[in-house]
């Protein structure tokens, strides 16, 4: 364990925060120590992100105090937080799509050129390259952000935070979209930061990360601090019980699997941007994995199958009928896509939870074309209860929910539609351990009811436990297919990495 200072570097004491209808935080105290990784864990909606937004000045606490090196201070806005060396990598990205990497990294902190009013662009790109190299991200800093994948955008967020010479670095689910190799680089970087005395607050739903990285663990539940303890003082099962208030099965095992039926999806020689010559099938009653490293083409294939991206060759058949490459056509034929980036691709963030849930199923709910608010509200409440979405009312704006609860809304909106074939792209990204079990029970229930599922997950253990078989991609092509008997983490890595 890293050596820690006697006096905490920064302390939040008695922090409380209320939103309309919700007590987000109730008298929470939290200590941050130099050279220590403090893991902050809890279910979605427990208050983790709210506490960190208060720390960085994005929210103001209703009650509570702050202490920097024992001295009482105030944090009213992000500028005040930055003065104390606080930098945050949020779960939801804060990048400007049409600026390049370097401009995003130094946005609002651009170095001045010799002539007044001008920016030293050469220095921006030099410094951006230095920071990117520090985290092992080999990329041209002049590339626009909108052309990057989710994992690459996450690396830019990390570089942006590190460029601020942070004394306190908050990481909110930083590995959610990273490959194993990128995760290793991040962990090595965290080790270097610890040695230099940087304090790290790390929010994660992955218990393996909690015990591998954590020097201290604080558990929040329903806006309250339940415990603060050392990793040696608890076990993964005990920690989960503290987080959710009940025992939870974290192995995601499926007790019974239905027999595979008719072919639901058949893809032949499909090619497009980022992939080529893809052949795969999914039958009813099956959960089929689509594995591979981040950047191998998994998401590009999923989007092309759904009709969100153009294909250049090949064909797609859904229940024997050819799909013409239109998302509207795919939805009408019973296809659903739960995308990896819920905020930009899966939600109408300025609309309510209820509006988002019923959106796709409007035709089924109101076949006459006459909208009935009472029926819509009843349907929305049923999904909220089924998925345990933490919202006081269906009328709550979906943008105010935690990341995990937003993901549940994305999944829930398809349950009112007549979908029979589902594509789940990273369905548990940013989801807590209790909700993961619920999501996987939902997937299992769908295939038991005759649906078919194609599932992408960067967590290989999920693919192994949940899927009936899996295709593994490498370099934009299918590298191989693994039967249920062959489906192991070692085989997925072997196919995904061998040249």
User: Is-contact 231 416, C-beta < 8 A?
Assistant: no
Cα gap 13→18, rounded to integer Å = 16
Domains and CATH numbers, the chain: 10-244 (3.40.50.300), 263-497 (3.40.50.300)
**What tokens were used for 394?**
């269906």
The pLDDT tens digits of the residues spanning 422-472 come to 999 988 876 767 777 778 888 998 999 999 999 998 878 889 999 999 999
Q: Is 197 helix (H, G, I), strand (E, B) or coil?
A: coil
% of the chain beyond a pLDDT of 90? 42
Residue 343 has pLDDT above 90, yes or no: no
Q: What is the pLDDT of residue 53?
A: 92
399 burial (CB, 10 Å; 0-12 / 13-18 / 19+) is: middle
130-134 average pLDDT score: 86
Q: What is the pLDDT of residue 440?
A: 87
- How far is C-alpha 91 from the geometric centre of its chain's CA atoms? 7
User: Is-contact 435 388, C-beta < 8 A?
Assistant: yes
Cα gap 170→57, rounded to integer Å = 13
Q: What is the pLDDT of residue 499?
A: 43
Q: What is the pLDDT of residue 495?
A: 87
151-175 average pLDDT score: 84
Residue 1 has pLDDT above 70, yes or no: no
219-234 average pLDDT score: 92
Handedness of CA 273, 325, 413, 283 (dihedral sign): negative
The pLDDT tens digits of the residues spanning 481-499 come to 999 999 988 888 788 875 4
Instruction: List the beta strands (DSSP E) in 320-439.
Output: 321-323, 335-338, 421-425
Residue 396 has pLDDT above 50, yes or no: yes
State the CB neighbour count (10 A cutoff) for residue 499: 4
Q: What is the pLDDT of residue 4?
A: 45
The pLDDT tens digits of the residues spanning 135-162 come to 777 889 999 998 887 777 878 888 888 8
Q: Is 64 helix (H, G, I), strand (E, B) or coil?
A: strand
The pLDDT tens digits of the residues spanning 105-117 come to 998 888 888 888 7
Q: pLDDT tier at 312 (50, 70, 90 boundaries)?
A: very high
In terms of DSSP bridges, do strands 199-203 and 168-172 run parallel, antiparallel, or are they unpaired?
parallel
User: Is-contact 69 9, C-beta < 8 A?
Assistant: yes
Cα gap 280→447, rounded to integer Å = 18
193 vs 33, higher pLDDT: 33
User: Is-contact 80 103, C-beta < 8 A?
Assistant: no
The residues facing 315 across adjacent strands are 268
Mean pLDDT of the chain: 87
% of the chain beyond a pLDDT of 70? 95
Q: What is the pLDDT of residue 5?
A: 45
Q: pLDDT tier at 249 (50, 70, 90 boundaries)?
A: low
The pLDDT tens digits of the residues spanning 54-112 come to 999 999 999 999 999 999 999 999 989 989 999 888 777 789 999 999 999 998 888 88
pTM metric for this prediction: 0.63
The pLDDT tens digits of the residues spanning 251-286 come to 567 778 899 999 999 999 999 988 999 999 999 999
Residue 222 has pLDDT above 70, yes or no: yes
């Amino acid at each position: 364990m890293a050596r820690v200072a006697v006096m905490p570097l920064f302390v939040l004491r008695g922090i409380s925060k209320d939103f309309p209808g919700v007590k987000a935080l109730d008298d929470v105290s939290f200590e941050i120590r130099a050279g220590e990784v403090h893991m902050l864990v809890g279910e979605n909606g427990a208050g983790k992100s709210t506490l960190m937004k208060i720390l960085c000045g994005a929210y103001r606490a209703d009650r509570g105090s702050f202490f920097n090196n024992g001295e009482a201070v105030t944090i009213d806005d992000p500028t005040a937080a930055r003065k104390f060396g606080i930098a945050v990598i949020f779960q939801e990205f804060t990048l400007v799509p049409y600026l390049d990497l370097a401009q995003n990294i130094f946005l609002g902190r651009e170095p001045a050129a010799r002539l007044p009013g001008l920016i030293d662009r050469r220095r921006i790109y030099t410094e951006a390259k230095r920071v990117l190299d520090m985290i092992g991200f080999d990329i041209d800093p002049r590339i626009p952000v909108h052309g990057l994948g989710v994992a690459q955008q996450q690396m830019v967020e990390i570089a942006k935070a590190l460029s601020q010479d942070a004394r306190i670095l908050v990481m909110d689910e930083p590995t959610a979209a990273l490959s194993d190799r990128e995760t290793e680089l991040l962990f090595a970087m965290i080790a270097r930061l610890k040695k230099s005395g940087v304090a790290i607050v790390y929010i994660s739903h992955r218990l393996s990360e909690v015990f591998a990285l954590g020097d201290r663990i604080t558990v929040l539940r329903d806006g309250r601090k339940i415990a603060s303890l050392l990793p040696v003082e608890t076990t993964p099962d005990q920690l989960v019980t503290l987080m959710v208030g009940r025992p939870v099965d974290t192995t995601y095992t499926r007790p019974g699997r239905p027999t595979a039926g008719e072919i639901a999806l058949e893809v032949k020689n499909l090619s497009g941007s980022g992939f080529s010559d893809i052949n795969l099938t999914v039958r009813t009653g099956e959960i089929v994995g689509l594995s591979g490293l981040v950047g191998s083409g998994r998401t590009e294939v999923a989007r092309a199958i759904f009709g969100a991206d153009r294909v250049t060759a090949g064909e797609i058949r859904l229940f024997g009928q050819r799909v013409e490459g239109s998302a509207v056509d795919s939805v009408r034929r019973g296809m659903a896509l739960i995308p990896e980036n819920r905020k930009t691709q899966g939600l109408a963030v300025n609309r309510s939870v209820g509006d988002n849930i019923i959106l796709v199923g409007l035709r089924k709910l109101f076949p006459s074309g006459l909208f009935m608010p009472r029926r819509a509200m009843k349907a929305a409440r049923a999904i909220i209860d089924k998925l345990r979405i933490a919202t006081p009312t269906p009328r709550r704006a979906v943008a105010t929910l935690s990341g995990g609860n937003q993901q549940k809304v994305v999944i829930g909106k398809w349950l009112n539609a007549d979908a029979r074939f589902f594509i789940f792209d990273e369905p548990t990204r940013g989801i807590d351990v209790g909700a993961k079990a619920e999501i996987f029970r939902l997937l299992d229930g769908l295939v038991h009811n005759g649906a078919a599922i194609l599932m992408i997950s960067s967590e290989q253990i999920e693919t192994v436990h949940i899927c009936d078989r899996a295709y593994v991609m490498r370099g934009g092509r299918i590298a191989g297919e693994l039967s249920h008997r062959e489906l192991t983490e070692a085989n997925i890595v072997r196919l995904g990495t061998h040249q």
